Amino acid sequence: MEENNNLNRKLTTASGRPYAEHENTQSVGSRGPLLLQDFILHEKMAHFNRERIPERVVHAKGTGAYGTFKVTHDITAYTKAKIFSAIGNTCKVFLRFSTVGGEKGSADTERDPRGFAVKFYTEDGNWDIVGNNTPVFFVKDPKKFSDFIHTQKRDPRTNLKSANMMWDFWSLNPESLHQVMILMSDRGTPFSYRHMDGFGSHTYSFIDKDNQRVWVKFHFKTQQGIKNFTAPEADQMRTTDMDHAQRDLVDAIDSGDFPKWTLKIQVMTEAEAKTFRWNPFDLTKVWPHAEFPLIEVGELELNELPRNYFAHVEQAAFAPSNLIDGVGFSPDRMLQGRILSYADAQRHRLGVNFQQIPVNTCPFMVNNFHRDGQMRVDGNGEDHPNYYPNSYGDIAPDMSYKEPAQELDSNVADWYNRNEGPGDNDHYTQAGDLYRKALSPQDRINLVNNIVGAMSGINGPKRDKIVNLQLCHFFRADIQLGMAVAKGLNVDVEQAMATPH
């Protein structure tokens, strides 16, 4: 067949069906939950999860440790989760830290978000909070995720990291600006895993004993204090010790200097969510602490290193779908996409029975009708029925765990542009506030220098377009930021501001 050189070729599924919506997932109303019938989302995420074997597609380089979580404050007004039923309750935890974009052999000090994934081994099952060291992310719809990660990996032609790919994507997706500014600040190069905060990032829900729902965000505040490398310091450590963060954690725990984090939450009522000036389920936005203050919950301590890295850290499998009674989902689009993709990634990477691996096994009761599959290592249900309902066994649903119904704002299913709903199209206010209010004068200088250094790698015939478009985003966030970056790149400001967008 003759090669098709038409530059306007139709976008199709793997089976050849043309389709129109590559960036927005079908939902019930502009803020409602996503629909399982949007098979494009499934195809993109399922294919993405299988692109690399056997290391993780993202978060490949990491370390982890066991520890303990202890409840120190009463939050039973918000959730009926048994772990929070009394002050002093404890459970075992496993926490895995990681870098996001690099391969297993990459350096710990790369400029990159850091994964912060916690597994709570509770009596009501394992509960996973799978987050990062940042409260926001680069995209707000899961259809965008694989495209974004491709820009952080290697160029398909050169097999090199590409500034063109990264900044081209960011310049065409202004929703990324908030996270880009965090990444380009010194927060993008933490000194160690012990000296950074962790965030659940997504909006989740709490359900109380009366089946009332509130929305919630999780924050893990380091008790060791925030400590970051500057860009030159990170570069120097990369040449000195590529495993600096891994070594720092091992040395601290081995010496009895157990790292600790304070778990805090933010709470928003359903009524407040309907009137909040931004979409409260938008992963590129934060909830201001002045309006939704942090509420202390408990303390997490890491005090035990795994005796075998591969058995525990490499085979640890986290998924946002691992919830417990009293904790639920929200219409956060990225969270809804991860409910599918993370568990699917673990089944691909470790096999369908990955939750029988010791680090992933619930230490309490597990009863289900799953049978067979690769690497089944328990009794495989022995001679008990493998179907339900049946007349022979005693496994049955417990209706006391039923979640309350969720009232939806719409009964119209369509593909809604993620950036055109009320409260969804402001990509600049929070990014500007970050620059003006959250960063010190020296932090702002370092941010500009880091941006200029990263954008200086953009080259080729599209350079001016990419640079000028990204500068427009910086100008909209803060005029002084835009001016400083433009000056560092020797760009004519009037030309940059005139770039079509």
Catalytic residues, by residue number, are: 59, 132
C-alpha span between 329 and 83 (Å, rounded): 18
3-state SS assignment for residue 213: strand
Q: What is the CA radius of gyration of the chain?
A: 23
In single-letter form, the type of residue at position 238 comes to: R
The DSSP-derived string for 146-211 is HHHHHHHS--TTT-S--HHHHHHHHHH-GGGHHHHHHHHSGGGSBS-GGGS-EE--S-EEEE-TT-
What angle, rounded to 10 degrees, do the helices at 463-477 and 441-455 form?
160
**Per residue, what are the HEC states of 414-437?**
EECCCCCCCCCCCCCHHHHHHHHH
- The DSSP H or E segment spanning 63 is strand 62-71
C-alpha span between 54 and 208 (Å, rounded): 41
Nearest to 82 by CA among 364, 490, 479: 364
Tokens of 329: 């989902």
C-alpha span between 455 and 41 (Å, rounded): 31
CB neighbours (10 Å) of residue 272? 15
**Per residue, what are the HEC states of 92-104?**
EEEEEEEECCCCC
C-alpha span between 49 and 35 (Å, rounded): 20
Residues in the chain: 501
Nearest to 26 by CA among 450, 422, 415, 436: 415
C-alpha span between 273 and 423 (Å, rounded): 11
Nearest to 219 by CA among 285, 122, 276, 298: 298
C-alpha span between 480 and 49 (Å, rounded): 41
C-alpha span between 316 and 93 (Å, rounded): 12
Q: How many angstroms from the chain centroid is the CA of residue 204?
A: 13
The CA distances from residue 281 to 136, 278, 473, in Å, are: 11, 9, 22
C-alpha span between 281 and 201 (Å, rounded): 10
Torsion from C-alpha of 422, 423, 429, 430, nearest 10 degrees: -170
